[in-house]
């Protein structure tokens, strides 16, 4: 379990999958993420190359978000495949992603943390820049959705950058 000031970030079990799907399919979220089926989420829970977390608020035990990470053990890469915050505007996104980045570099010992996002995810893009992720580039027309072909922007942080920023405080 990861812990922040206001959240417990716990590995998901099958009991949480319906809540995860509910968050994925919410109108405020569904245009920004790929939605998984119940069976796909079950597979992610059981796969040693993935971590599916749920974010539980300490104050009331409410599930306020989730994240899915893919681990590349050989190349020491940590990909944040999805992050969804259901209870928006409270800083849970920043709080949870900082804890996940810390886990990536200090526990998993990643050399590289990365994610992709869509160009119209303005809240996410602002957050990624604020916490020190670097924009690497754009994968043009990389994903076909109900809205058509979409670009994906790649953001990353390297181990050296993480520890340099950590020293600065």
| pLDDT tens digits along 97-128 | 999 999 999 999 999 999 999 999 999 999 99
Q: What is the mean pLDDT of residues 129-152?
A: 94
Fold of the CATH domain 2-168: Aminopeptidase (3.40.630)
**Which pLDDT score is estimated for 74?**
98
Residue 156's pLDDT band (cuts 50, 70, 90): very high
DSSP code per residue over the chain: -EE-SSEEEEE--GGGHHHHHHHHHSTTTTTTSPPPPHHHHHHHHH-TTEEEEEEEETTT--EEEEEEEEEETTTTEEEEEEEEESSTTSSHHHHHHHHHHHHHHHTS--SEEEEEE-TT-HHHHHHHHHTTPEEEEEEEEEEEETTEEEEEEEEEEEHHHHHHHHHH-
**Which pLDDT score is estimated for 145?**
82
pLDDT in tens, 63-88: 999 999 999 999 999 999 999 999 89
Q: What is the mean pLDDT of residues 38-56?
A: 98
Sign of dihedral through CA atoms 124, 126, 131, 136? positive
Instruction: List the chain domain ranges.
Output: 2-168
**Which pLDDT score is estimated for 23?**
95
Residue 29's pLDDT band (cuts 50, 70, 90): confident
Beta bridge partners of 144: 149
Cβ atoms of 52 and 42 closer than 8 Å: no
The pTM of the full predicted model, rounded to 2 decimals, is: 0.93
């Amino acid at each position: 379990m990861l812990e922040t000031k206001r959240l417990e970030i716990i590995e998901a079990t099958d009991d949480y999958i319906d809540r995860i799907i509910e968050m994925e399919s919410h109108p405020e979220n569904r245009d920004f993420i790929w939605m998984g089926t119940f069976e796909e989420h079950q597979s992610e829970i059981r796969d040693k190359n993935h971590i599916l977390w749920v974010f539980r608020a300490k104050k009331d035990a409410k599930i306020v978000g989730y994240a899915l990470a893919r681990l590349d053990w050989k190349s020491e890469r940590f990909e944040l495949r999805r992050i969804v915050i259901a209870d928006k505007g409270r800083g849970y996104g920043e709080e949870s992603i900082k804890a996940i980045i810390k886990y990536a570099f200090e526990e998993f010992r990643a050399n590289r943390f990365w994610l992709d996002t869509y160009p119209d995810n303005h809240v996410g893009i602002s957050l990624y820049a604020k916490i020190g992720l670097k924009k690497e580039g754009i994968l043009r027309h990389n994903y076909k959705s109900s809205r058509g072909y979409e670009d994906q922007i790649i953001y990353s942080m390297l181990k050296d950058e993480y520890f340099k920023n950590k020293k600065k405080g």
